[in-house]
Chain A
Amino acid sequence: MDCGPAPPGGAVASMNQRRTRMNKAKLPAGLNTLVVYLAVALLSGCGEEYLQSTINPVTDYGEVTQNLYVQVFWWTMVILVVVLAVLAYILVRFRERPGQERPAQIHGHMGLEIAWTIAPALIVVAIVIPTIQGVFEVQRPPDGKALVVEVVGKRYWWSFHYPELGITTANELHLPVGRPVSLRLESGDVIHSFWVPQLGGKRDVNPVVVMPQGEESKRNWMHFTIKEEGVFWGQCAEFCGEAHSLMGVRVVAQSEDEFQGWVESWKTPAPTANVPAAPAGEGAGAGLASALPAPGPSAQDPRMDAGAQAPVAEDPLVARGREVFFRESYCVLCHAIEGTQAPGIIGPNLTRIGSRLTIAAGMLENTPQNLEAWLRDPHAIKPGAQMPAAQAGVTYEGQTFPPTNLNDEQIRALAAWLSSMR
């Protein structure tokens, strides 16, 4: 850790000992050190190397929280120091001396009682007022027109649908910097919580209650405007079952131009999504796709060079993979790919999956090798995942999915094809 203020392990240990060793005379010095340590480590921008730091926000929403946190932090620090200092003083000053008689028997003091009721009450008021302002602020919809994204949490991945753009993707949320964004949260199964700490606090992703009359319960929203470009890490924050800890998410915050490029790329299927000759019945967009230039993958994509070759001459392995996907497996039952015949809605939408940073909801870097490993046995990577493995089926929420029975050749081809769809 090159973050200066964060105390190294040993220092934390000794700091704790120091804090509690209150009957030593030199305590006030120890307390000061403690407070400095705490303050610097708990407040500063030292969160930078921490990808999920809660104290390094990049949105207006996150800043509201952060400002409140800093205020409350200092109030509580003042109280902590006063209480511990008084305690330390007492423990030194009033220890029994040899032969000491029973001390004066004092039963109480009304003035003091009133004083230490009113003092904390005032501090509480000082905290409650900005807090309640913050409560309303973080739940206020943006003034301007916001980009709406419908977020659906499922065990154990995320679906993102942009209703105005007609885009559906999974596990990687692309958002523009500087424009208000509104996320509409709902769950496809149990309660999840959408938490990308640098964007701001979490919100529960509740299943929608459908009343017998057809009325639906309201969904949660998150409203924010991102101020910095970057890739922000997050994960589900409400325990949702076996693979809860493996339900990650990435948010790619892009400049408005880059974001528009990304949106444009979605308007056509990936060049390799369909058979280049576009045989009858195989997706009307395919011919058009081959005529268009390859869309620019996001700047963060480590493999953008490889992507440029795709539309020219098709790799036989890629063609083979497409055949496996559409004709030799039942992938399409669960997965959709826009502009193709794959209609499934149970699993993540795979449109342009090759352009994503990760697979398995943020768990693995998106490489053909990792894709192969995932296709062979998803449960080795994510125990509890609903996707069947090559040699093992799954039963999930009452539905049974048999093994895919894909052999190594098929898996290699499938991974190559999926990777090619950028």
Chain B
Amino acid sequence: MSVATGTLKAAPAAHAEAAGLWSWVTTVDHKRIGIMYFLTSFFFLFVGGLEALLIRIQLMRPENAFISPETYNQMFTMHGTTMVFLVAMPMAVAFFNYLVPLQIGARDVAFPRLNALSYWIYLFGGLFLNSSFLFGAAPNTSWVGYANLTSLQFTPGRNVEFWIIGLSILGVSSIAGGVNFITTIINLRAPGMKLMRMPLFTWMTLVTSFLLVTALPVIAVALIILGFDRFFGANFFQVTAGGDPILWQHLFWLFGHPEVYILILPSFGIISDVIPTFSRKPLFGYPVVVYAGILIGFIGWGVWSHHMFTVGLGPIADSFFVASTMIIAIPTGIKIFNWLATMWGGALRFPTPMLFAIGVVAVFTVGGLSGIMHASAPVDLQQHDSYFVVAHFHYVLVGGALMGLFSGLYFWYPKVTGRMMSEALGKWHFWTTLVGFNLTFFPMHFSGLFGMPRRTWTYQAELNLETWNQLSTVGAFIFGAASLLLVWNVFYSLRKGERATANPWGASTLEWSIPSPPLHYNFPALPEVRSRDPLWDEAERREVEAATLSEPAREPQMPSPSFWPLLTALGVVLTWGLLMTHLWWAPLGGLAFTAFMVFNWAFQPAFR
């Protein structure tokens, strides 16, 4: 067993990063930004979860009036919007931030200050979106915001405008992040870290980043033209003037389906690193798993209309999207088979990260297979927009994406904090999550098959759907309680957790060759990599550790802190937010503010 033997050295004072609130506000360190991304998305996870619980209380009884339909509509809209844009995506970005430079042997991302800008825009955008609650005008037209319901005529009030502007702001953050990670992965790899030697998580980050920079502009276009309709009286979606609401659906899903893979691929990357570690075997079929991920990224662009089988696009279009959707099941299946083959013949251990990874394989399979059911277009005519679909995508996005992120959290927490998370609490968290999750979402298959449409405030008693809904509600509360165990574990272990060594799990990749937590410059000297699993080859490990655990001859120069990214982010949010005044010139003020901040940023040297 080749757990790193290097003693954990406390960094000499001269190497320590500045502490204190201001140092975090001005930080451009990818690790700190990653931590802030994580904490923010973790906070929003509970905001979205609370919204879900309100939904579940309302649906516990037929013809219930626990909350009003208007409130309910705001809740499910904000639940979906929050979980996708403020939780799943940014939590994945938290992992990209913290891990990608460590996995490829870099000292930071390619554009550290742009990275800070991404974070602050995300934070302010999230706060902006949620500030709508203070005005009683939270978005209320569902997370897909179908036109022409979103027109001024049918949904007056500021609800839709908060949504348009909030998502536009968040899109800026995601696109900037995507550019940053593509550049980082292409350009900043350590010597010998060829593309086909990169850890799977980094690979999936690369694919996801390409999807981010290509898919987000599509929804940006959709949001902007919708904004033109609402703010300036344009007619993109006004049927009486020749506008077509179906256009929105094409634009939204042209973004929305790649978005699904933006959410799921990071999780696939995580468990592709976790499963080999705890099987003590390299990933089976590494190139195949990589190519399958890339293929999913590509084909993901050609399946969007499977969200639109009920729209009436005609049998030819329907058939095309049936075929493309079925085809994308193949690379997804291949990944599952390769994970199974990785475990086959291994020496399996079951600490919490591995439990969650196995949970992903099992639960995602269920979600993937129910997806095949409604990939069959005529079947989808029944299942579309029913609770069956709600069950399906929660199996994929909670069981697949979120549980994968939890796996990653347990796996890399020791690297980030220098302490292990409590295994006992972790196991409790896993099992209660699994029970709560399945009890919440499995009955939804039935409520859907028995005719419950999604996005409904209530259902009539005669429909006999009460039992299924009650099961879901009980499950949701178990799931919610389970998540509190995670919160407790995260904060408890920070102080009381067992000290972590550099490589507590005996993993094979580069980030485990440096101390836990890492020094702020990550690598005293850049290691040279000769294989995919450098720490599992005794000779290579010694070579790598000679570089990664050494005392640097001269402290590496790191980018200086800067508060301009924060102020620029404020400017971006201000520019968009001032649109809410409905005064055409007001955003110009925000634009001027932004320009001033960018100017200052540009003239501040990156290194002192």
Residues of A with Cβ closer than 8 Å to B?
A: 1, 6, 8-9, 12-13, 15-17, 19-20, 22-23, 41-42, 47, 49-55, 64-65, 68-69, 72-73, 75-76, 79-80, 83-84, 86-87, 90-91, 94-97, 100-109, 112-113, 116-117, 120-121, 124, 127-128, 131-132, 134-139, 155, 189-191, 193, 195, 197, 200-204, 206-212, 217-218, 220, 233, 235-246, 248, 362-363, 383-384, 397-398
List residues of chain B with CB within 8 A of the CB of A107.
282, 284-286
- Write the nearest CB–CB distance from A62 to chain B, whole angstroms: 8
Q: Which of B239, B362, B372, B445 contacts A72 (CB 8 A)?
A: B372
A54/B70 in contact, CB under 8 A: no
Q: Which of B286, B333, B378 contacts A116 (CB 8 A)?
A: B333
26 contacts between A and B (CB under 8 A): A8-B467, A12-B439, A50-B464, A54-B388, A69-B373, A73-B373, A94-B343, A94-B345, A97-B347, A102-B347, A105-B281, A113-B338, A120-B330, A124-B326, A139-B315, A201-B380, A201-B381, A209-B239, A210-B241, A233-B463, A239-B455, A241-B155, A244-B457, A245-B457, A246-B69, A383-B70
Alpha-carbon gap, A202 to B345, bound state (A): 48
Alpha-carbon gap, A9 to B442, bound state (A): 11
List residues of chain B with CB within 8 A of the CB of A217.
244
B451/A202 in contact, CB under 8 A: no
Is B132 engaged at the interface, CB distance under 8 Å to the other chain?
Answer: no
- Kindly identify, within residues 253 to 285 of chain B, every residue whose CB is under 8 Å from any CB belonging to chain A: 279-282, 284-285
Is B311 engaged at the interface, CB distance under 8 Å to the other chain?
Answer: yes
A237/B386 in contact, CB under 8 A: yes
Alpha-carbon gap, A6 to B465, bound state (A): 13
Residues of B with Cβ closer than 8 Å to A?
A: 1, 68-70, 73, 141-142, 146, 148-149, 153-155, 239-246, 279-282, 284-288, 310-312, 314-315, 318-319, 322-323, 326-327, 329-330, 333-334, 336-338, 340-341, 343-350, 358-359, 361-363, 365-366, 369-370, 372-373, 375-386, 388, 434-435, 438-439, 442-443, 445-446, 448-460, 462-465, 467, 470-471, 475, 536
Alpha-carbon gap, A121 to B362, bound state (A): 21
List residues of chain B with CB within 8 A of the CB of A16.
435, 438-439, 442
> Given contacts A97-B347, A211-B242, are A54 and B378 in contact (CB under 8 A)?
no
A127/B372 in contact, CB under 8 A: yes
B280/A20 in contact, CB under 8 A: no
> Given contacts A94-B344, A113-B285, are A131 and B146 in contact (CB under 8 A)?
no
Closest-by-CB residue of B relative to A197 is B451
Q: Which of A80, A204, A210 contacts B311 (CB 8 A)?
A: A204
List residues of chain B with CB within 8 A of the CB of A363.
460
A83/B443 in contact, CB under 8 A: no
List residues of chain B with CB within 8 A of the CB of A105.
281-282, 536
Closest-by-CB residue of B relative to A212 is B242
Closest-by-CB residue of B relative to A86 is B340
List residues of chain A with CB within 8 A of the CB of B366.
80
A51/B348 in contact, CB under 8 A: no
Q: Which of A22, A86, A211, A242 contacts B358 (CB 8 A)?
A: A22
- Write the nearest CB–CB distance from B111 to chain A, whole angstroms: 35
> Given contacts A128-B323, A207-B239, are A383 and B68 in contact (CB under 8 A)?
yes
List residues of chain B with CB within 8 A of the CB of A52.
450-452, 463
B319/A47 in contact, CB under 8 A: no
B245/A106 in contact, CB under 8 A: no
Alpha-carbon gap, A245 to B334, bound state (A): 40
- Write the nearest CB–CB distance from B289 to chain A, whole angstroms: 9
List residues of chain B with CB within 8 A of the CB of A8.
467
